[in-house]
């Protein structure tokens, strides 16, 4: 894992070629780790990605009293029988706002929970009003001030019908987990439909929860007395897969991506074909081959909740667009400030104009290496990808952002032929 004084140095080095194996999904592993707090027996999770964010979530579980054992690099045994606190340590919430999804399980276990108000982050304000609306509907009293958020259900949680004004992934997960042991039936309307919601629902069902409709906008949860243990393999990371697929196309390479579910990343496949790449999906295995042998053409993307184009692949696709033939357009509808990679791409010679949540990109023949800064996890990945096709050397700082969501990005790109290394600077 990186710290503040590491940088990634990339030199344009021609097409990517070879095979890359995708890791387990960060955005599925995080809520599933939180869901382990609901169980009182051994749980074994496999395909858990080696990431900074996962380390932080494991610290949160340990601080609450869960027993954690690594069985191998990506397999973890967790037992939360003896958890003895309903308060998430404030300093850990500061490190990772995604730890907010432990509130639902703690509310279900203790009928009360408290944590630090999760700050926004650089891609947006990231409010949690929909999470709290759900907890309130289930019978909890919630208090939020600048510093902390608490939820207390004196008479326990009772099923309710909860409409989400926005299909929030985190709110859907938090409410689903809180409702697993509420009295009676809960219906979440306008629920998020991401594959990570389905993976969480499958995991909870194996623990004895009664959930129907995950993957659709109506999820029904019938409360049960208790949840047991189980074994579960985390689904592949569709955003990591998208990152390498886009990199293969923009370097005019030929890359086989292993451990990817095509159905989970359909919009990115469609857009890669639209710009002129070739995408071959294997019938019976989770393998996708992406190749391109000529300059790609511009297109438009609009990010939307699943099954629309994923906001988490927007920065990476913009890196590809910056060297396409002609004009491209990007509209970011999920977060209010997710264009911070634009200034950094412009430093590398990209021609991008933004107005609010819209960007216009005019493809240039060549990017040039520059000193740039990762501003968030996906923006950082986009800069590595831009460096792969730039003339000369690109030095990327603040790479701790990248390590939060990409395991061994340097090794994986180097194995595909990239001229890339990680250096420590004093």
Place of tokens 């973890």: 76
- CB-nearer residue toward ligand EPZ: 113 or 311: 311
Draw the binding track, 348-377, toward ligand EPZ (x: CB under 6 A; -: no contact). -----------------------------x
- CB-nearer residue toward ligand EPZ: 168 or 259: 168
**Per the structure block, which two tokens stand in for 312?**
């988490």
Task: Give one word for 157, left, alpha or beta, with left for phi > 0 and alpha for psi -120 to 50.
Answer: beta
Query: Which one of 12, 195, 236, 405 is in contact with ligand EPZ (CB under 6 A)?
Result: 405
**Number of amino acids touching ligand EPZ (CB under 6 A):** 25
Q: Can you name the residues that pair with 124 across neighbouring β-strands?
A: 121
Closest distance between ligand EPZ and the C-beta of residue 134, in Å?
A: 9
321 near 268, Cβ under 8 Å? no
Please report whether residue 312 would count as binding ligand EPZ according to CB under 6 A.
yes
Catalytic residue among 9, 68, 121, 364: 121
Closest distance between ligand EPZ and the C-beta of residue 318, in Å?
A: 14
121 tagged catalytic:
yes
> What's the number of CA atoms in the CB half-sphere (13 Å) around residue 338?
24
- Largest Cα–Cα distance in the chain? 65
Please report whether residue 170 would count as binding ligand EPZ according to CB under 6 A.
yes
Rounded to a whole number of angstroms, the distance between the first and last alpha carbons of the chain is 17
Residue 241: name the closest of 252, 232, 249 by CA: 249
DSSP 152-185: E-TT--B--EEE-SS--HHHHHHHHHHHTTSBSE
Closest distance between ligand EPZ and the C-beta of residue 94, in Å?
A: 16
117 near 132, Cβ under 8 Å? no
**Could you say which residues in the range 97-116 bind ligand EPZ, by CB under 6 A?**
98
- CB-nearer residue toward ligand EPZ: 169 or 409: 169
Query: Which one of 126, 210, 266, 295 is in contact with ligand EPZ (CB under 6 A)?
Result: 126
Q: Which stretch binds ligand EPZ (CB under 6 A): 65-73, 109-117, 123-131, 247-255?
A: 123-131
- CB-nearer residue toward ligand EPZ: 207 or 402: 402
**Per the structure block, which two tokens stand in for 385?**
């990808």
Please report whether residue 378 would count as binding ligand EPZ according to CB under 6 A.
yes
Q: Which stretch binds ligand EPZ (CB under 6 A): 56-64, 147-155, 166-174, 412-420?
A: 166-174
Please report whether residue 311 would count as binding ligand EPZ according to CB under 6 A.
yes
**If DSSP codes are grouped into helix, strand and coil, which group holds residue 335?**
coil
Burial class (CB in 10 A: 0-12, 13-18, 19+), 71: exposed
Closest distance between ligand EPZ and the C-beta of residue 297, in Å?
A: 27
Please report whether residue 131 would count as binding ligand EPZ according to CB under 6 A.
yes
Which residue number is nearest to ligand EPZ in terms of Cβ?
Answer: 170
Closest distance between ligand EPZ and the C-beta of residue 378, in Å?
A: 5
Q: List all residues 6 or more positions away from 142 whose beta carbon is below 8 Å from its beta carbon.
A: 132, 135, 136, 149, 150, 151
378 near 313, Cβ under 8 Å? yes
Closest distance between ligand EPZ and the C-beta of residue 331, in Å?
A: 14
Please report whether residue 124 would count as binding ligand EPZ according to CB under 6 A.
yes
**Could you say which residues in the range 29-88 bind ligand EPZ, by CB under 6 A?**
30
Count of residues in the chain: 426
Beta strands in 298-385, from DSSP E residues, in sequence order: 300-303, 327-332, 351-355, 358-362, 371-373
- CB-nearer residue toward ligand EPZ: 335 or 370: 335
Please report whether residue 201 would count as binding ligand EPZ according to CB under 6 A.
no
- CB-nearer residue toward ligand EPZ: 14 or 120: 120
Draw the binding track, 327-346, toward ligand EPZ (x: CB under 6 A; -: no contact). -------xx-----------
Q: List all residues 6 or more positions away from 151 whose beta carbon is below 8 Å from its beta carbon.
A: 103, 107, 112, 113, 114, 132, 135, 140, 141, 142, 143
Query: Which one of 63, 67, 89, 127 is in contact with ligand EPZ (CB under 6 A)?
Result: 127
Beta strands in 264-418, from DSSP E residues, in sequence order: 278-281, 287-291, 300-303, 327-332, 351-355, 358-362, 371-373, 393-397
Place of tokens 């623990």: 207
- CB-nearer residue toward ligand EPZ: 57 or 182: 57
Report, as residue numbers or ranges, the catalytic residues.
121
Q: Which residues bind ligand EPZ (CB under 6 A)?
A: 26-27, 30, 98, 124-131, 166, 168-171, 192, 311-312, 334-335, 377-378, 405
């Amino acid at each position: 894992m990186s710290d503040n004084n590491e940088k990634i140095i990339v030199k344009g080095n021609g097409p990517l070629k070879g095979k890359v194996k995708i890791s387990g999904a960060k955005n599925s592993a995080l809520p599933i780790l939180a869901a382990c707090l609901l169980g009182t027996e051994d749980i074994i999770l496999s395909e858990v990605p080696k990431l900074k964010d996962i380390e932080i979530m494991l610290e949160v579980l340990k601080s609450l009293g869960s027993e954690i054992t690594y069985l191998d690099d990506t397999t973890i045994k967790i037992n939360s029988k003896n958890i003895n606190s309903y308060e998430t340590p404030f300093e850990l919430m500061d490190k990772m706002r995604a730890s907010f999804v432990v509130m639902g399980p703690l509310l279900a276990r203790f009928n009360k929970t408290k944590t630090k108000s999760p700050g926004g982050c650089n891609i947006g304000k990231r409010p949690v009003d929909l999470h709290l609306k759900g907890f309130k509907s289930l019978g909890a009293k919630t208090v939020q001030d600048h510093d902390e958020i608490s939820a207390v259900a004196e008479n326990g949680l009772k099923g309710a019908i909860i409409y989400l004004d926005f299909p929030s992934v985190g709110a859907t997960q938090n409410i689903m987990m809180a409702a697993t042991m509420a009295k009676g039936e809960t219906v979440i309307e306008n629920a998020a439909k991401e594959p990570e919601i389905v993976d969480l629902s499958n995991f909870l069902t194996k623990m004895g929860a009664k959930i129907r409709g995950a993957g659709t906008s109506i999820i029904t949860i019938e409360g049960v007395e208790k949840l047991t243990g189980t074994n579960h393999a985390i689904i592949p990371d569709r955003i990591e897969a998208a990152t390498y697929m886009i990199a293969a196309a923009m370097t005019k390479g030929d890359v086989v991506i292993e451990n990817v579910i095509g159905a989970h990343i359909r919009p990115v496949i469609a857009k890669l074909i639209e710009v002129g790449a070739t995408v071959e999906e294997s019938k019976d295995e989770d393998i996708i081959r992406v190749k391109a042998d000529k300059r790609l053409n511009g297109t438009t993307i609009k990010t939307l909740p699943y099954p629309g184009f994923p906001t988490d692949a927007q920065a990476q696709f913009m890196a590809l667009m910056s060297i396409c033939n002609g004009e491209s357009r990007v509209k970011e509808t999920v977060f209010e400030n997710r264009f911070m990679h634009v200034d950094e791409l412009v430093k590398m010679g990209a021609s991008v104009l933004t107005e609010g949540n819209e960007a216009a990109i005019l493809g240039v023949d060549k990017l040039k290496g520059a000193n740039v800064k990762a501003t968030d996890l996906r923006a950082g990945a986009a800069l590595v990808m831009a460096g792969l096709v730039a003339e000369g050397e690109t030095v990327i700082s603040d790479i701790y952002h990248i390590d939060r969501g990409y395991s061994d990005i340097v090794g994986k790109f180097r194995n595909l032929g990239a001229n890339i290394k990680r250096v420590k600077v004093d």
